[in-house]
Amino acid sequence: MAKTPVLSLQFISTVICLLSLSSFPPSLSLNVETQALLDFKSQLKDPLNVLGSWKESESPCEFSGITCDPLSGKVTAISFDNQSLSGVISPSISALESLMTLWLPSNAISGKLPDGLINCSKLKQLNLTGNKMVGVIPDLSSLRSLEILDLSENYFSGRFPTWVGNLTELLALGLGMNEYHVGEIPESIGNLKNLTWLFLAESYLRGEIPESIFELENLQTLDLSRNKISGQFPKINIQVAKAY
Ligand SMILES: *[C@@H]1O[C@H](CO)[C@@H](O)[C@H](O)[C@H]1NC(C)=O
Ligand SMILES: *[C@@H]1O[C@H](CO)[C@@H](O)[C@H](O)[C@H]1NC(C)=O
Ligand SMILES: *[C@@H]1O[C@H](CO)[C@@H](O)[C@H](O)[C@H]1NC(C)=O
Ligand SMILES: *[C@@H]1O[C@H](CO)[C@@H](O)[C@H](O)[C@H]1NC(C)=O
Ligand SMILES: *[C@@H]1O[C@H](CO)[C@@H](O)[C@H](O)[C@H]1NC(C)=O
């Protein structure tokens, strides 16, 4: 009985301690990923209010368009297809270290693709087709897990991204319909043995098609239309054609 007052004093001091903690500004207690997503939202225009559920008070795993890993609670996917989003992609997404999917096709997003995206080293799917993005595509060749890379139908400029030949896990690669300098199809695309879909239409490409492309046994779709490709179709193509 004599101990009771001591216990309640401890209890009271714990409560006071908790109260003083919770009186810090909310931004200090926001987790890194929530802050990154709210920064991402702040750089976008969202006329359909598809980001309406993105609020400080919610867990990012409750945000629309977000998928989290059920065990770690880390953000693994951001996905908004054809939702009238415009504005730019905030560099803050580089803080999402478990991000595997960034899927924002058919919006009106402009600006550059942030260099910091290479910090999202788990990235498997990057689909930004059908936006208004500009500038040079940053070298993403360190993102070795990429399986889908679709940056087609934008206004990307500069050199054709020859480093894609290092992304050997790629299944689908779309770089077509951009504003590159005149260039050639890199021979190294032949390293992408798992490729099933290759879209390089309207990419200011000239010169010959590297024979290595015709050695890609899994390729089902090859679109090189509206370029200035010259030369003969490699002989090997006939062997591939015969196989079907
Ligand atoms: C986007 O959505 C609009 C309206 O829902 C539709 O008319 C349009 O065809 C869609 N565009 C694409 C590229 O899916
Ligand atoms: C990416 O990671 C590197 C090394 O961890 C760090 O120095 C750099 O600031 C990060 N970049 C961004 C944009 O977060
Ligand atoms: C890409 O591959 C080439 C060889 O095909 C290699 O020389 C180069 O270092 C690689 N780049 C990166 C960033 O790994
Ligand atoms: C291609 O796919 C196979 C089977 O899915 C996989 O084992 C392999 O690691 C992939 N990558 C390359 C470069 O072959
Ligand atoms: C990217 O998204 C668009 C729109 O949903 C889709 O049509 C296209 O097939 C996707 N690209 C790849 C390579 O999956």
Counting ligands in written order, the one closest to the CA of 192 is 4
Using the 3D structure, point to which of 135, 169, 195 is the last residue of a domain: 135
pTM assigned to the model:
0.86
Q: Please provide the DSSP assignment of 160-207 as one string.
A: --GGGGG-TT-SEEE--SS-PPSEE--GGGGG-TT--EEE--SS-EEE
Query: Tens digits of per-residue pLDDT, 147-165?
Result: 999 999 999 999 999 999 9
Confidence of residue 9 (pLDDT cuts 50, 70, 90): very low
Task: Classify residue 198 by burial, with Cβ atoms within 10 Å: 0-12, 13-18, 19+.
Answer: buried
Is 169 touching ligand 4 by the criterion CB < 6 Å?
yes
The yes-or-no verdict on residue 241 having pLDDT over 90 is: no
Is 82 touching ligand 1 by the criterion CB < 6 Å?
yes
Q: Average pLDDT over the chain, rounded to whole? A: 88
* Number of domains comprising the chain: 2
Lookup: tokens for 28: 């200090």
Same domain, 90 and 54: yes
- Per the domain annotation, does 24 fall within a domain? no
At residue 29, the pLDDT reads: 52
Beta-bridge partners for 134: 155
In this structure, the residue with its CA closest to atom 13 of ligand 1 is 106
The yes-or-no verdict on residue 28 having pLDDT over 60 is: no
For the segment 200-211, the average pLDDT, to the nearest whole number, is 95
Q: How far is 197 from 118, CA to CA, in rounded Å? A: 23
For the segment 111-117, the average pLDDT, to the nearest whole number, is 98
Same domain, 131 and 177: no
Backbone phi, psi, residue 122, to 5°: -90, 0
How far, in Å, are 57, 134, 145, 168, 203 from residue 142 at the CA level?
Answer: 35, 21, 9, 11, 23
At residue 234, the pLDDT reads: 61
Counting ligands in written order, the one closest to the CA of 94 is 2
- Per the domain annotation, does 222 fall within a domain? yes
Query: Tens digits of per-residue pLDDT, 61-98?
Result: 999 999 999 999 999 999 999 999 999 999 999 999 99
Query: What is the best residue among 80, 81, 82, 83 to mutate for testing ligand 1's pocket, by most ligand atoms within 8 Å of CB?
Result: 82
Query: What is the best residue among 115, 141, 188, 192 to mutate for testing ligand 3's pocket, by most ligand atoms within 8 Å of CB?
Result: 141
Counting ligands in written order, the one closest to the CA of 97 is 2
Reduced to 3 states (helix: H, G, I; strand: E, B; else coil), residue 73 is coil
Domain range spanning residue 225? 158-244
CA angle 9, 12, 17 (to 5 degrees): 125
Asked if residues 78 and 100 have their Cβ atoms less than 8 Å apart, the reply is no
Same domain, 131 and 178: no
The yes-or-no verdict on residue 124 having pLDDT over 80 is: yes
Is 190 touching ligand 2 by the criterion CB < 6 Å?
no
Q: What is the largest CA-CA distance in the chain?
A: 98
Same domain, 72 and 130: yes
- Per the domain annotation, does 12 fall within a domain? no
- Per the domain annotation, does 25 fall within a domain? no
Confidence of residue 2 (pLDDT cuts 50, 70, 90): very low
What single-letter amino acid sits at 122?
K
The CATH number of the domain holding residue 224 is 3.80.10.10
Rounded distance from Cα 8 to ligand 5 centre (Å): 61
Beta-bridge partners for 147: none
Is 168 touching ligand 4 by the criterion CB < 6 Å?
yes
Q: How far is 142 from 166, CA to CA, in rounded Å? A: 8
At residue 173, the pLDDT reads: 98
